[in-house]
Structure 1
Amino acid sequence: MRIDLHTHSTASDGTDTPAELIRNAARAGLDVVALTDHDSTRGHAEAIAALTAAKDAAKPLTLVTGAELSCRLDGVGLHMLAYLFDAAEPEFLAARELVRDDRVPRARAMVGSLRELGVPITWEQVARIAGDASLGRPHIATALVELGVVETVSDAFTAEWLGDGGRAYAEKYELDPFEAIRLVKAAGGVTVLAHPQAVKRGRVVPESAFAKLAAAGLDGIEVDHMDHEGPTRARLRAVAAELGLLTTGSSDYHGSRKFVELGACTTDPEIYGEITRRASGAFPVPGSGGRG
């Protein structure tokens, strides 16, 4: 059973539409895929519709609805994966909207900073790249690639350009991770800390924070991820075992925006079953996900 619990669509900063993501996940031989766009559930309806249209496929695909939440702890950004929550729960919905609403002013500030640095980027260019998606740094990074300023999107996430604290970086509204856990739990969801030791992206929270987050109700840690080397994965597994946390794996797929394939890393079926057992806000679609 192949389970990928972290992917993105055009509802945030991926390049596949939600329907394309479903079709591509099926082609990749996945049994389960989670759609976890940044601070957004806008892609869920389209993904579910695509899943329903493909329900007679030879190998059924199960969708896990979710989101990747933007958080900040002691000045360090971190991402929280939230699964199978009630997307209509008012308090959590309002919190996600606050984060999303800050994306456009933040992006405009970064475009302004880049222009001051001599980059001939325009707001119109960035808006075209983003389309109807929740606008974010990857769209600006894509513009830098188009302009030949950097070779790849990943190259834009450095101190020289858009990395945390970089020359063109701008702060944004982000959730306190302890509050994020509370909100997700209140909406019946499950929380997993995304790529917590992805040091190539910038500063990461110290391991000492994991115990505090676990005490607050964190369910798991994303261990198997392209930005975690072998020794890092081994250390994270040990920490998770110490704290009684689940360990997941996923691709963090963004379509053509990043060079990673669906199913590049996967989650153990027993862990997936435990995630679905803990959730009460939503069910996997269309499978029961181990609830039986």
Structure 2
Amino acid sequence: MKLHKASAAAAAVLVLSLTATACGGDSDSGDGGGGKKITVGIKYDQPGLGLKTPDGKFTGFDVAVATYVAKELGYDAKDITFKETKSADRETALSRGDVDFIAATYSINDERKQKVDFAGPYLLAHQDLLIRSDENVAKGEDLNGKKLCSVTGSTSAQNVKKDFAPNAQLKQVGTYSECIAALQSGAVDAVTTDDSILAGFAAQDQYKGKFKLAGLKLSNENYGIGVKKGDKAMVDKINAALEKMVKDKAWDKAVADNFGPANYKSEPAPKIGNIVK
């Protein structure tokens, strides 16, 4: 009798499952439509790249790329949930399945590739300096004796001191917003991190025309889209979407919309799989 009840229950579950499939029930399988949702990890605090505005909207180049990719995967904008994914949390968020993919100034490197897979790259950034618009820095060595700002724990400022200007006066603060305010007031002479991040801050309305990038290209940062380790199908789909974004010029528009006011001279769109060392 118990076996008979179990068989009946299994049959009922099978019928319900087939019915749900035929009716196109909700799913997160990745083909979009029919009420399906996708969760994308981004930064919330990087103007020009990933920013959550006070009214709850999301803006920036990473957001534009993520939205385009999600659309190519079959999701409308209303089907996307953007989830804040801080740098230290990115690998964990992917392995736990908290997000479907991450577009958050996520530089591709060998250490990270042990834990996640990457599509892209979709942007080649460089470590650079942000300076006041009426000043010039021709090379890293020019920072000797100057006041240089970056965030606590960042490798960018340490790289400058180690490789270019050992006598730079390093000021470390909690956020890049604090660095930008210090640059505006004259408390520091330059701010350093990825040029894309600096351009995003400089493009904000309150800073337009006040700052510029030095254009020194002190390092190469290949931004990729992170996916769960082993999900080759997702990597392939995202790469196809990125190639289409470049081909139809949506990539160029996203660069102009988000970095233009800072006179950011971006590299051409990188080739998929081409990691610049």
Check whether TM > 0.5: no
Larger radius of gyration: 2
Whichever structure has more strand as a proportion of its residues is: 2
